[in-house]
Amino acid sequence: MASIFQFKEFAVDQSDCAMKINTDAVLLASLVHVESSERILDIGTGTGVIALMLAQRCADSEVIAVEIDPAAAKRAAINFRNSNFGDRMVMHACSFQDFTDTGSFDFIISNPPFYTDSLHNPDARKKLARHTDLQFFNELLTFAADKLQVDGQLALIVPKLLADELKEIAETLDLCLKEEIQIRSFEGDAIIRKIIVFQKAYRGVSTVSDFIIYEAKGVYSEMYKTALRPYFLAF
């Protein structure tokens, strides 16, 4: 993959970043309803692509990003500065646990790491993944509950089974499910990812929708093209 990914309104240099631009990231950034947010926090920004996409969408928003990997954080900061949105983007090279900003946020977003492929033995992998995932996500959800505005929202993209567990944890923190987007490769396929959006103290009815990536092998769906058209040169 080329080190520089050119979007319509910005470019992302992926040099020094272990996690390259991927479908999860661009779908999360394009599908969430974030336009009215004044302060946005991207946790684990990697290349900075999600933060940049949201900065493009939200012309009046301040977009803050945190990244624990020093090399990726440095590269993301350069990507921010080289964009047209750099004057309202801030990069913090730290984990969210060490993040010291005392302000609150209207929207927190994350394409978090998954640990399910870290071991070859299926049983050991499942055991470790469950322990590590839930510890990490417990901390993430607790952080969000503390840092969000009264009606602030948290959006994550995760595997289906993990999404179900996170909904249970979120309930204990008064983070209520507002929206769920079920992502499938093809119509009728199993769900491969879920975008889950929580809102503090939300008491309305949550919505569920399907998103299909391909209409045929190698052919993107109209859903996908519509979602990414504001960003991708190909569309």
In a domain, 183, yes or no: no
Residue 28 within any structural domain of the chain:
yes
In tens, the pLDDT along 54-104 reads 999 999 999 999 999 999 999 999 999 999 999 999 999 999 999 999 899
Please compute the mean of the pLDDT values over residues 90-119 and round it to a whole number: 86
Range of the domain at 113: 11-174
Residue 58: inside a domain: yes
Nearest residue to 41 via CA among 66, 58, 71? 66
- Quote the pLDDT of residue 115: 54
Task: Specify the pTM.
Answer: 0.91
Give the chain's domain count.
1
Give a yes or no: residue 148 inside a domain.
Answer: yes
Three-state DSSP state, 28: helix
pLDDT tens for each residue of 125-165: 344 444 456 888 999 999 999 999 999 999 999 999 899 99
Percent of the chain residues topping a pLDDT of 70: 91
174 neighbors 200 (Cβ within 8 angstroms): yes
Q: What is the mean pLDDT of the chain?
A: 91
Q: Residue 153 burial by CB count (10 A; 0-12/13-18/19+): exposed, middle or buried?
A: buried
pLDDT band at 116 (very low <50, low <70, confident <90, very high): very low
In this structure, what are the phi and psi dihedrals at residue 208, rounded to the nearest 5 degrees? -130, 130
CATH number at residue 28: 3.40.50.150
Specify if 42 maps to a domain: yes
191 located within any domain: no
